[in-house]
Chains A and B, each alone.
Chain A
Amino acid sequence: MNAVLEALFGGFGKELLEAAESMGHFVFLVRSTFLWMFRAKIEWRQTLIQMARIGVDSLPVTAMTMFFTGMVLALQSGATTKHFFNVPLFIGTVVSFSIVMELGPVLTAIVVSGRAGAAIAAELGTMKVTEQIDALYTLGTDPVRYLVIPRLLAFLSVLPLLTVVSDFTGIVGGLFVARVKYDIPTVVYWHDIIDNMSVKHFVHGFLKTFVFAFLVSMTSCYKGVTTRGGAEGVGKATTQAVVISMTLVLVIDYFATAMLNALGIT
């Protein structure tokens, strides 16, 4: 099988095979994560520690990112509407829709994958190459149960919260520019938002954060626990975890959006 593929596709066949193999291992990890989650006691202490770490690590940088994103959105939409209608219009609407439905969830997930996802891959990778993960097994617990599940749960609970904070800071950033640069009263800005936005729009973005939390945490854990080959291997695993997480977030975002639209949650 191996040889046939190699003969057919040359070096590419080998890569294809390896990709398929890691896909299989990834699915296996996901499967055993869910099995353990429902079968064994959850390590709440570890989960809380991870929640604190992910939250504290990522809050400042996500807030900062989103504040400026909100600002630039306001600046651009103000400039565009001014160009066409001579007055800046609907800044609040543009900012809030872009942020709540797309940029908030996506950018937060990306920033968190660069921060907390990388940290997870590096930590688990180091544990793997120094045999600490094997040691967990010999001391009677399971790496999935002790390491992966707490991180998954922490991500699933913290990323949505971070996104809500991000959405809010982004909208405030937009307000800041709307007021200072375009002299739009705060009330008008808020009305632009409230009159046009419904709970559905918020739910649309909020639901996606759970998908991203799952993708980023499982990718980072997977890259961590399958690390091979010393310090260099840890470096590689960490970079790969971040690159793959970010790509997955952007790609899956499209499909998640399409699906939510099909379900009428827009």
Chain B
Amino acid sequence: MIEAKGVVKSFGRRAVLRGIDLKVESGETMVIIGGSGCGKSTFLKCVIGLHAPDSGEIVVDGLDITKLKTEREISDYRRRFGYLFQEGALFDSMTVADNICFGLKYLTDVPLSKYRRIASDSLALVGLKDVEDFKPAELSGGMKKRVALARAIAAQPQYILYDEPTTGLDPIMSDVINDLILDLQKQLKVTAIVVTHDMKSAYKVGSRIAMFLEGRILQVGTPEQIKNTSDPAVRQFVEGLSQGPIKMKLKEFEADEARDGARRGKD
């Protein structure tokens, strides 16, 4: 179980997360949706410990990431997670196989002889074959994304944080990835958080969906509840309309930004 309580995070003067309360039950897939730049990736990074929240706590199986002290505690915490970066973040000096097996050495006791096997198995799961010896630069955008996904799941983590797993994939491949996320949940009882802009994918893989707006959670509900929401902002977002309450907010936000920028320019 992942439980975030009052998570606040700012970068400099800009408040990105303004108090996130979110509970992800074990075995559940929580989908996070929300406008670009509203702090979804930042939230995932707080959960895995890449960013330290300014205040609030994030508790996973009774361990509070914000209170972990020793290196050992932190690595025990991190060991439970797989993380798919929005931009892949593949090691570009290594082959695909080395990328996928990189974590095995540090996160598991799997013997070296099994690495090759695990690499091709993980690649097969994401619909790739015979690319083990390619360098990331030789792959297409969608292939990179899938290799990154293969890397995130190779060590069979208990928790997986997916940052836009289907962005940049063709519709069929997107659905293959959706099935994979569902399979991992059903068969390996993975608890997951999926950040996505792809509503089809959100409805398919989500046990529940949380909508972020301006660093807060607007609504959390099952896909059914979200589909039939009464909240105008959520409705606007899931239906993808340019007219509605959020547009206004965006304008306000931009004005805010401009004012901030001007102030920064002055001093």
Q: Which residues of A contact B (CB under 8 A)?
A: 6, 39, 127, 130-132, 134-135, 137-142
B106 at interface, CB cutoff 8 A: yes
| Further pairs besides A138-B50, A138-B83: 11, Cβ < 8 Å | A39-B71, A134-B45, A134-B85, A135-B83, A138-B82, A139-B103, A139-B106, A139-B107, A139-B151, A140-B75, A140-B78
- Going nearest first, the 10 A-B pairs with the smallest beta carbon separation are A140-B106, A139-B103, A131-B89, A138-B83, A135-B89, A140-B107, A141-B106, A139-B102, A134-B50, A131-B85
When each residue 70-100 of chain B gets 1 if its CB lies under 8 Å from chain A and 0 otherwise, what string results?
0100010011011101010111100000000
Residues in B whose Cβ lies below 8 Å from that of A142: 71
B202 at interface, CB cutoff 8 A: no
B48 at interface, CB cutoff 8 A: yes
- The interface on chain B, measured as residues whose beta carbon lies within 8 A of the other chain's beta carbons, has a size of 25
Beta-carbon contact of A134 and B89 below 8 Å: yes
Beta-carbon contact of A140 and B103 below 8 Å: yes
Beta-carbon contact of B85 and A135 below 8 Å: yes
Residues in B whose Cβ lies below 8 Å from that of A137: 49-50, 78
Beta-carbon contact of A135 and B78 below 8 Å: no
Q: Which residues of B contact A (CB under 8 A)?
A: 45, 48-50, 71, 75, 78-79, 81-83, 85, 87, 89-92, 102-103, 105-107, 151, 155, 267
Residues in A whose Cβ lies below 8 Å from that of B79: 140
CA distance A233 to B90 in the complex (A): 20
CA distance A121 to B85 in the complex (A): 23
When C-beta atoms are compared, the residue in chain A nearest to B94 turns out to be A132
When C-beta atoms are compared, the residue in chain B nearest to A140 turns out to be B106
Give chain B nearest CB distance to A47 CB in angstroms: 16
CA distance A141 to B102 in the complex (A): 9
CA distance A141 to B81 in the complex (A): 13
Give chain A nearest CB distance to B210 CB in angstroms: 22
Do A138 and B78 form a contact, CB below 8 Å, given A6-B267, A39-B71, A131-B85? Answer: yes
Beta-carbon contact of A138 and B106 below 8 Å: no
Beta-carbon contact of A132 and B89 below 8 Å: yes
Residues in A whose Cβ lies below 8 Å from that of B267: 6
Residues in B whose Cβ lies below 8 Å from that of A131: 85, 87, 89
Beta-carbon contact of A130 and B106 below 8 Å: no
Residues in A whose Cβ lies below 8 Å from that of B49: 137
Return 10 A-B CB contacts under 8 Å, by A number. Answer: A132-B90, A132-B91, A132-B92, A134-B89, A137-B78, A138-B48, A138-B50, A138-B82, A139-B102, A140-B75
Residues in B whose Cβ lies below 8 Å from that of A39: 71
CA distance A135 to B102 in the complex (A): 10
Residues in B whose Cβ lies below 8 Å from that of A135: 83, 85, 89-91
